[in-house]
Each structure stands twice: as C-alpha cells, then as structure tokens.
Structure 1
Amino acid sequence: MSRFTIGEQDFMLNGKPHRILAGALHYFRVHPDQWADRIRKARQMGLNTIETYVAWNMHAPTPDTFDTTGGLDLGRFLDLVAAEGLHSIVRPGPYICAEWDNGGLPAWLFGSGNPVIRSSDPVYMNLVRRYFEQLAPILVPRQIDAGGPIILVQIENEYGAYGADKDYLQELVELNRQIGLSVPFTTVDQPEPDMLDNGSLPGLHKTGSFGSRAKERLATLRQHQPTGPLMCSEFWVGWFDHWGAHHHTTAAGQAAQELEDLLAAGASVNIYMFHGGTNFGFTNGANDKGVFQPTVTSYDYDSPLDESGHPTAKYWAFREILARYTELDEHDVPAAKEEACSLELPLTQELSLWDYFDATADWTGSQELTSTDAMGHYSGFSVYRTQVQASAQAVLEFEEVRDRAQVFLNRQHVGTLSRDQKETSLVLPAHSGGTLEVLLEDQGRVNYGPRLGEPKGLIGSARLNGVPLKNWQVSPLQLLAGGPVSQAFDGVPQQQVEVLAGPVFARATFDHPVAGDLYFATHNWSKGLVWVNGFCLGRYWARGPQQTLYVPGTLLKPTGNEVLVLELHSATRAMVSFVAEHNLGHTES
C-alpha cells in the first residue's frame, strides 16, 4: 500500500517529494451520473487530486437519519476519484461554509440542548462525534494506506476567522484519530497572523486560502510555519453571486498568472473551484454582514469547468500552466462542447398554490409567533395564519422577517416584506377583516459568521396598529420533492395557459430525443422554483443576475419529460423556453 506523509519541505508519497495539484469538486453540487465526467476532466486538465467538502446537513436532514444514497453516496464518489487514478482531500467540517445552507451544519442541531457551535461545548461535540462515527465506514477504508485515494483530511474550516478554542480543535483531532483516520491533518485560514494563530494547532499542517499575491501570502504562511510544504488549499479563481448583484468573473489570463506564481514558488495548490456545480433545491447559503444576501442557484464560480461541465478559456489557460509541472497527454482532452437545443412549449395545466396547500397543510397552533425551526421545518416555504379586523388606518408589523413574506388577506395579495430590504411593515386594506396568511420563504441560511444557526420564519412579535396579534397557526409547505405537486395535477384539465397569476403551479410535458443538457430561461418569470421530472433545479428571480437554470441531461429521457414551475407572482407569457446557452447575467464591466 502507498504512504503519504508531510516532510521537512515537501509532501511525501512513498518517500518521494510530491506536489499536490488539486481541484475542488463538491459531489453534492453535481448530479451523480455526471461525477465521472467531471473527475476525468480534472485529470485531463493536469490535476492529480480532487478535493471535496462533506455537507453534514445533506446527509442528516433529521437527527435520526444519515443518508448516503444517490447523490449523497460519498463512497462511490471517492471510488470514482480512485478509478481515474487521482488522490482525494476530504474536508468533513463539521462546519464547511462553502456558500452552502447553514455552512453545512444541520438546522436541527440548534434545537438539541442549546449547543454552542464550533466550540468544545460537550453538547455540540457529542453531536459531532455521532456525525464522524457515521462517516468513518466511508472514509477510513478509503485512505491511501488502505489502498484508497484519501491523502489529507482537513480539521474544521477557516476556524481562525471565527474562534480561538484550542480545546475544540484538539478534540476534533482526537475524534478524527479515534474513528480511524491516519492520514495527515491540515487546517486552512486566510494568511493573516491572527487567523493563522487562532485556526490551527502545533501538530496540524497549516495551509492558506487566497486568490492573489501568492508570493506575499506564502511568505506570511511560512512565517507561521517554518517547515513543511507550502500549500494554498483554497486558491480562489472566481467568486459566487448574490441575488440582485452582478455575476462575478475573473480574466483567464490573470488567474493563470496567479497560478503560475503560486506553482513557481514551489507550493501545492487546490483550485477553488475546479467545477462549482449547482445549488439545487433549497441548498444555497447566504451572507449577512448588515445586509442579507442570499446566494443564487448557480455555483458556476467562473471555474475552469463551467456549471454544465464544459472547459472554459480558464481551463485551457490553467492546463497550459500545469503542463509545466506535470506530464500531460496532448491528445487526451475533453470533447468539444455541443450546443444545447432550443425548445419552446406552452404550459398546459395550472393549479393554485392555495388548492395544493389546503390539501396538504399540517397546522400547528400557538398563541405567539413561532419559528419554522420550532415545528421541525428547516427549509423552503411555510404558511402562517391568524384572524384580523382592520381599522381605517391598519398597519401590520412584524418584529423580524426571515426571509421573505408575501402577505394575503382572504387570499388576496396585499404586499411583500423582504429581509434584504429591511421591510417589516405594510398597510392592510381599510375596514376589512378575515384570514391573514403569510407565505414565508426561507431564502437560505447564513453560512459565515456569527449568524450561523439562526432560526427562520416570522421572528418575535406581530402587531396590528400596535396591538399584538395572537392565536397563530403555522404549517410547512412541502415542496422539495416534486412528486406530490405532480400528483396534485391529476384531474386538472389540459388547456393552454395564457398568463400566470401567482402563487400558482404550472405544468408542461416535452420530449427530448437528443441527449444533452438544457438551459431553462427565466426571463418571462418573476420569482419561483422549477422542477424537471421531479428534481428541483432551484430558485429563479427576475432581479438576477442569473437568467437561466441548468438542467442536467442525465435527468432527461427521450419522451414524456415533465416540467413544473411555481410562480410566486406573475408571468405575462406562460411559455417554457429552453435556450442554447447558459446565461448567468451581467458583470461589473
């Protein structure tokens, strides 16, 4: 069996110096039928290692489950890495950031005895221990000294930017060893003195996270770690996008020069991201540094391999640089990109969201407002309701909205409150009363900083003209799996839909005899979700920047494909359009 160690100046593979040329590829952001293709293209670019986070919250949606099937089959993913002749770096957290919902921490965690996250708090560590014990059968037999691909495991993630609990880091080290991990352990932090000091331990190998000024930042890293190989284990070659902002890009030539500077300095590298993938469903995270900013559905990241798995100009520029540091077969390259087909079809069925909701609601009552977390609903949409009697001047006010609330009175829309706009109040129609309902959207949990783990929903008090509103009911709106919504269309008559007045579901079917990906165009729509064959592609929003949703070709079949749309507001043209090119929106330039 092979052996991987950390030497005085180099990583050592079977006693010989070894440079890690890695790329980040998150299995949970890529359809599992596409894993092998993306891994192969990493090798073809010149990489010898695949790095992935492990998303605890995806594997453990409830305290009593740990799912490793389908797109969560981490063992199969690692086996595919090994089959391509590559090594693997695994970053199991438990916190991963990654612009991922709640930074990968399960939302139920925060209701389990009030744990103090990312600390040596015993309640938290007991839950982390169970998570790592569940990972052990996957990771331990796939280490390099057992014939597998794993050469490094990371402890926590950029911890120096969050805390300085050395006992916590030490407990994580001991826990990783106790479950049977024997490969070297690393940490990663931005090359700032305080972060490097707080985020690691003497026995852990420090690595850096940065995207520019490589020589300067490697020098800082060396000051804090006099021996051992230098490594940028998050070499940022792009960035992520927020709704309402621009699409981030970096010039291929500039990124390639930064990579050249890094490698010329003798360092190892992990390109973040090699292939970004997609925040399918409700998996996107958010930032809140005074303004709430949810991350878009695409996680393209302006990577060398784009969201749909095709090489970009950055891919070829990086391949040229990497060829100076590793052997490459000039004939072993990805196939040329085939243009996706364009297709337009009418929506032929529609169903009011309220009709679907009334048939599936599961109400919980309380005198005061309660978070959606309190009822065990941790993502997507919920509905709150109570009875009101509006006076001539009626102002409805909530203490806090997390994250977006469409307000209805007797099923008539009266306004929308958004966390990102810091909106908490609106006017109700004068001299009216009846059933007040709030369609509440969790737009993604904060994945970085002190707001990790905050509950979602209508938070605090609700008042009408200053008088507290009581006697609330709340129910989840079950949407993630498209199957129940699809079944609700049984018996709904077929007819061409002209316009959509939301909130409403609409449905169409189509054939796709030519294999390949599609791009769902959202320019006719306001805000909502799309499913194809029961798989949730994710959110769309007219505020952009993203203008298309990626449809993996592996979801499609030659005949009888189903597309479902939930439009929350309105669409003046009720047509489904698939276009030839992905459009991630405007850039700064």
Structure 2
Amino acid sequence: MRKLSISGDHFILDEQPIRLLSGALHYFRIVPEYWQDRLLKLQACGLNTVETYIPWNLHEPEEGNFNFDGFADIEAFVRLAGELGLHVILRPSPYICAEWEFGGLPAWLLADDNIQLRCNDNVYLSKLDAYFDELLPRLRPLLSTNGGPVLALQVENEYGSFGSDKTYLHDLKAGMIARGMDVLLFTSDGAEDHMLQGGMIDGVFATVNFGSRAKEAFAKLREYQPTGPLMCMEFWNGWFDHWMKPHNTRPESEVAETLDEMLALGASVNFYMFHGGTNFGFMNGANLFDKYEPIVTSYDYDTLLDESGKPTAKFYEARKIIEKYVTLPPLELPPLIKSQAYGKVLMTEAAPLFTQLDVLSRPERRACPEPMEKLGQDYGFILYSTKISGPRSSTELVLQEVRDRALVFANGAFVGTVERWDPRGISLEIPIEGLQIDILVENMGRVNYGPLLRDPKGITCGVRLGYQFLHDWTIRSLPLTDLKGLSFTPINCEERQRPTFYRGSFQVSKPEDTFLRLDGWSKGQVFINGFNLGRYWEEGPTKTLYIPAPLLRQGGNELILFELHGVMEPVVTFVDTPELT
C-alpha cells in the first residue's frame, strides 16, 4: 500500500523522502480536451504533483442531481494525471473559495433562510453528507492506498479566515475517514495567529498559504506545528482581476526569489496557480468588503501559463529555480496549440428580450420581489414587473438591496441603471394612467470569500417609491440555459438600445484557439455554439474572451450575444492574441 506519510520534517513515499513540487490546475476551468496539454506543461516545468479543488456547485447543481461528466469528470482528470506519472492533491472540502461562484457552495443552499453555512449546523451537514456520499466513493479508487495517484485530501479550506467551529472541522474529518479516505488529510490557512488557531485540528497536517516572506510564514506555522515538513499549499505567484480595475501583474523576479527562499528551506510548494484558465458561463465569484467587486471571466492570474495555456516568463524563471534543487531532463513542451484570427463577423439577426419572455421563462406572481433562490434559480438574470398607480409627482424609485446590477424600464423605455456598488434611486413621475415598471437584474457572481458569504441574488429586500413599498409583482427567472427557442429576425435599428440577443454565423476551415473582441459592445453574455462562454463588459480590464478550439466546429459556427445596453454597429472580431489592460 502506497501512502504519503510524515517522518520528522519530511514527507515519505515508498520509504523514501519526497518533496512535493505541485501546481494548481482546475479541471473545471479548462476544456477537457486540453487537460493533457496543461498537465504535460506542468510536468515539463519540473513539478511532480498537480493540485485541484473540487467545487460542490459543479457536481451537485441541483439538490440530489449530480454531475460528473465533461468539465465535471474529476475521475478522468485524476486518472489522466496518474497515467502521466504525476501525484495528485485533491481539495474536496465543501468550500473552496478559488474566486469561484459562492466559493463552490451550491446556490440552492440559500433557498433556506435558516441554514448556517460552514459550521456544525444539522441542516447544512445533512446536505453535505448527501454530497460526500456521492463524491467520496468516486475518489476512493483513485487514492494512492488503492493504487491511484491521490496522495492527500484537504478537510476544509482556509477555515481560520472564516470561523472557529472545531466540532464542524472534526465532523468533516470523521466523515472523510468513515468513507474510506485513508490518505494524508490536511488543512490550509493563512500564516496568521487567528487563522491557524481557527483552521487547524488535531491529527490533521497543517499547511500555510502566502505569496512572499516565506521564512516569516513558516516561522508562524512552526509556532503551531513544531515538527513535520514545511509546505506552502498556495504560493500566490499572481493574482485575479476584478471588473473596473487594472489587470493584476507580479514581476517574475519576485516569484523566483520567493520560490528560491522556500526551496532553500527544504519546503514543499504548490503554485497557486500554475495555470488559471477561465470562469466560463456565470461561474465567476466576487469579493465584498468595502464594496461589492465581481471577478472577470478570465482567470489568467498572471501565472506560469497564461489563460490559453502558453508558458509565460514565470514558467521559465520557476523552472530555473527548481533546477537548482532537482535534476531535470531537457525542457520538452507538448506541440504548440495555435491560435487564429478569424476576422470580423457581422451579427445579422436579433431577438429583443422583451419579445422572447414566454420562450425563456414562465411568470410567477408574488406579493414582493423575491430573490432568485426562492424561485429555484441559481444564475443568470431575473425580471421583476409591476404597475404603479398614478398620478404621482416626481418620486425616487429605490431598489432596496439589489444584487447585483439592475436595468430599469418604465413603459418599456430604459430609465436608468442601479448597481449594488452605487445604489442611487431613479426619479419617476407617474402619469394619471399609471406606469409599468420592469426591472432586469443581473447576478454578477456570488461572494466567494469573507464574512458576507451568504449572497442571495436579485432584489433581496424590496422596491419602494419614496417610502412606500410596491407590491404585486410578476417575476420571471432567466437563467439562459437554453436559447434554442429564441425567434430571431433581421436586425432593426430601433431595437439596438434595449436588452437583445444578437446572432451571427461564421465559417471555420480548421478550428484553432481564438479570442473574441467586442469593441463597441457594452455589457452582456457570449454563447458560442450553445456554450456559455462568459461575461463581457466594456469597463475592462479584459478586452477579449478566450475561445478554445474544441468549442468551435469545422464549418459553420453560431455566435449569440446577449447585449444589455445596445450597440451601434453589430460587428465582432476574432483575433489571435488576448488583450488585458
């Protein structure tokens, strides 16, 4: 039986000391056709281990409905890594953070106002048990103790940054062991007193997460775990991006210096990230401290491989440092994945949202506007409609606790935008015959980290005209999971300033990676051949969306854009390089 163990200050595998040189690759952020390419590049960099989170919301999108196919085929990913000769670290903790929607927790948990997250709450634990009953038996054959490549499993993720419920942590540990998880169990936390005090548990190996000052971080760990190997479970060698802020970068020289410092101390390390990938669809997370800050579609992370999998300067600098401590074979990378500029594509057809509502949704009557989760909706958009009686003099329309961005229409005309980070009201004058109000709310990503993790979407409190709450609402869920029923017609210039689906087609002789530029478009969602590629927004920092070749077809391809604000010239451009500002 092969089992990673600890002897003194060393990891031991097959009766020999081993240093884990690992990199994070998230199978759910990479098209499966490219898993092998990314893993081979990880190996070529000198790493012997791959690490990945396992997001609960990917694998149980609806309660009791499990998904382990395609992007969600964790078993295939792990088996492939093992076939390539890599060890695997898995992080199946119910919460993952990862700048991923709701930190990996399923949105349907929020349908219950009373459920308490990430603690010893019986309702929460019962949901988690049902998930673990499905997930962990799938992982058991992949463990090293059963001949597989998985050496270690995480119990919870950076729990000391959130809570202090040791009963909960022990419940997770016991639940894993009871389901046959007999490999090394570990926790990972920031290298600060309160984080280690809250996140560590007896009998579980502790690791720390940091981006610099390795000696200080490991010294703090030693105060709480005096013996055992040193390991940085998340070496933050880059960072993620928020909309409306510049692209984050970090010099490769700083990354190399910190890596060298760690390896000189004899430590093991996991690059977070080795390759970031993409937040496809609606799966980006958000931060909320001083204000709500949604994360962009690209998870480039300014790391060793860029979003499209190309080695960066950090890749080569990291390999140079690793070569100081490990004998590596000559660098051999897999064949280059080419990119192609397919040029301009004219969007020729349109389907205005308000003409397609019966195709996309069914109306529900409620006294008050309710959040998505109460209607069984997880992601996308939600439309609230009511009629205000008149006449009334100019009064402010207030969306109380809107999450996250709302477009307001009065008798069909756009009258303003209300944003969570700028919740100012809209002044309305109500004529004697009254006024029809439609409020289209976009879920821009649930909070993935911090004390404000509970983040229901839509209008979560109410809508007021002045101090008077408005009642009697028609609500339509718009998850945009199926667009096949849309009825498109030739573009009408008068429709270009309202939320509209635009459709165009283009020919591809040989599918290759490409990048979609959306100059002149404002904000919306892109669907390529029915696949939800992700969000775009003129606010940046990203100016392009990455399209991996496997999402394209040889021959005809369909592109649909759901544009919220309108466009003067309905043209997009496929280019062969990304643009980040």
Counterpart contact for 2:152–2:184, Cα < 8 Å? yes
Secondary structure in 2 matching 1:570: coil
- Which residue of structure 1 aligns with residue 290 of structure 2? 290
Where in structure 2 are there 5+ consecutive unaligned residues?
none
Per-residue CA deviations over 1:3-59 (Å, capped at 9, x if unaligned) read 321221111011110000000011111111111111111111111111000100111
Residue 437 (structure 2) pairs with residue 436 (structure 1) = yes
- Which residue of structure 2 aligns with residue 449 of structure 1? 450
Counterpart contact for 2:387–2:436, Cα < 8 Å? yes
Which of the residues 491, 505, 510 maps onto 1:509? 505
Pairs within 5 Å for 1:57-72: 57-72=57-72
TM-score normalised to the size of structure 1?
0.95
User: 1:398, 1:570 → 2: CA distance?
Assistant: 23
Return 330-339 or 265-274, whichever deviates more. Answer: 330-339
User: 2:255, 2:492 → 1: CA distance?
Assistant: 49
Structure 1 residue 465, shift from structure 2 partner: 3.1
Secondary structure in 2 matching 1:577: strand
User: 2:485, 2:13 → 1: CA distance?
Assistant: 55
Pairs within 5 Å for 1:71-470: 71-112=71-112, 114-336=114-336, 338-390=338-390, 391-421=392-422, 423-431=423-431, 433-470=434-471
Counterpart contact for 2:414–2:498, Cα < 8 Å? no
Structure 1 residue 264, shift from structure 2 partner: 1.0
User: 2:326, 2:555 → 1: CA distance?
Assistant: 45
Which of the residues 541, 545, 550 maps onto 1:549? 545
Counterpart contact for 1:346–1:497, Cα < 8 Å? no
- Which residue of structure 1 aligns with residue 486 of structure 2? 488
Q: Aligned pair in 2 of structure 1 residues 325, 337: CA closer, same or farther (>3 Å)?
A: farther
Per-residue CA deviations over 1:236-293 (Å, capped at 9, x if unaligned) read 0001111111110111122111111111111000000001011111001111102000
- Which residue of structure 2 aligns with residue 576 of structure 1? 572
User: 2:240, 2:229 → 1: CA distance?
Assistant: 29
Which of the residues 489, 501, 524 maps onto 1:528? 524
Partner AA of 1:485 in structure 2 = L
User: 2:412, 2:495 → 1: CA distance?
Assistant: 19
Structure 1 residue 523, shift from structure 2 partner: 2.4
Secondary structure in 2 matching 1:438: strand
User: 2:492, 2:571 → 1: CA distance?
Assistant: 9
Return 495-504 or 179-188, whichever deviates more. Answer: 495-504
Counterpart contact for 1:278–1:307, Cα < 8 Å? yes
Residue 515 (structure 2) pairs with residue 519 (structure 1) = yes
Instruction: Report the number of matched residues.
Output: 579
Counterpart contact for 2:188–2:206, Cα < 8 Å? yes
Structure 1 residue 428, shift from structure 2 partner: 2.1
Structure 1 residue 504, shift from structure 2 partner: 0.7
Counterpart contact for 1:361–1:475, Cα < 8 Å? yes
User: 1:352, 1:111 → 2: CA distance?
Assistant: 31
Counterpart contact for 1:347–1:497, Cα < 8 Å? no
User: 1:35, 1:319 → 2: CA distance?
Assistant: 20
Partner AA of 1:559 in structure 2 = G
User: 2:49, 2:173 → 1: CA distance?
Assistant: 23
Structure 1 residue 499, shift from structure 2 partner: 8.6
Partner AA of 1:548 in structure 2 = T
Return 317-326 or 495-504, whichever deviates more. Answer: 495-504
User: 1:318, 1:500 → 2: CA distance?
Assistant: 49
Structure 1 residue 2, shift from structure 2 partner: 2.4
Counterpart contact for 1:531–1:564, Cα < 8 Å? yes
Counterpart contact for 2:283–2:445, Cα < 8 Å? yes
Counterpart contact for 1:382–1:439, Cα < 8 Å? yes
User: 1:228, 1:413 → 2: CA distance?
Assistant: 62
User: 1:103, 1:233 → 2: CA distance?
Assistant: 17
Structure 1 residue 445, shift from structure 2 partner: 0.4
Q: Aligned pair in 2 of structure 1 residues 504, 493: CA closer, same or farther (>3 Å)?
A: closer
- Which residue of structure 2 aligns with residue 34 of structure 1? 34
User: 1:465, 1:271 → 2: CA distance?
Assistant: 52
Secondary structure in 1 matching 2:75: helix
- Which residue of structure 2 aligns with residue 14 of structure 1? 14
Secondary structure in 2 matching 1:476: strand
Partner AA of 2:486 in structure 1 = A
Per-residue CA deviations over 1:105-158 (Å, capped at 9, x if unaligned) read 111123348222111122211111111111122211100111111001011000
Structure 1 residue 508, shift from structure 2 partner: 0.8
Secondary structure in 2 matching 1:93: coil
Secondary structure in 2 matching 1:123: helix
Partner AA of 1:190 in structure 2 = G
Partner AA of 1:411 in structure 2 = G
Per-residue CA deviations over 1:47-80 (Å, capped at 9, x if unaligned) read 1111000100111111120111111011001011
User: 2:338, 2:66 → 1: CA distance?
Assistant: 38
- Which residue of structure 2 aligns with residue 540 of structure 1? 536
Secondary structure in 1 matching 2:483: helix
User: 1:264, 1:318 → 2: CA distance?
Assistant: 14
Counterpart contact for 1:113–1:123, Cα < 8 Å? no
Counterpart contact for 1:525–1:542, Cα < 8 Å? yes
Per-residue CA deviations over 1:181-230 (Å, capped at 9, x if unaligned) read 00011111111122112111121111010000111111111221111100
Q: Aligned pair in 2 of structure 1 residues 87, 566: CA closer, same or farther (>3 Å)?
A: same
User: 1:512, 1:274 → 2: CA distance?
Assistant: 31
Where in structure 1 are there 5+ consecutive unaligned residues?
none
Partner AA of 1:42 in structure 2 = L
User: 2:122, 2:493 → 1: CA distance?
Assistant: 57
Counterpart contact for 2:40–2:333, Cα < 8 Å? no
User: 1:550, 1:496 → 2: CA distance?
Assistant: 29
Pairs within 5 Å for 1:472-487: 472-479=473-480, 481=481, 484-487=482-485
Structure 1 residue 429, shift from structure 2 partner: 4.5
Secondary structure in 2 matching 1:317: helix
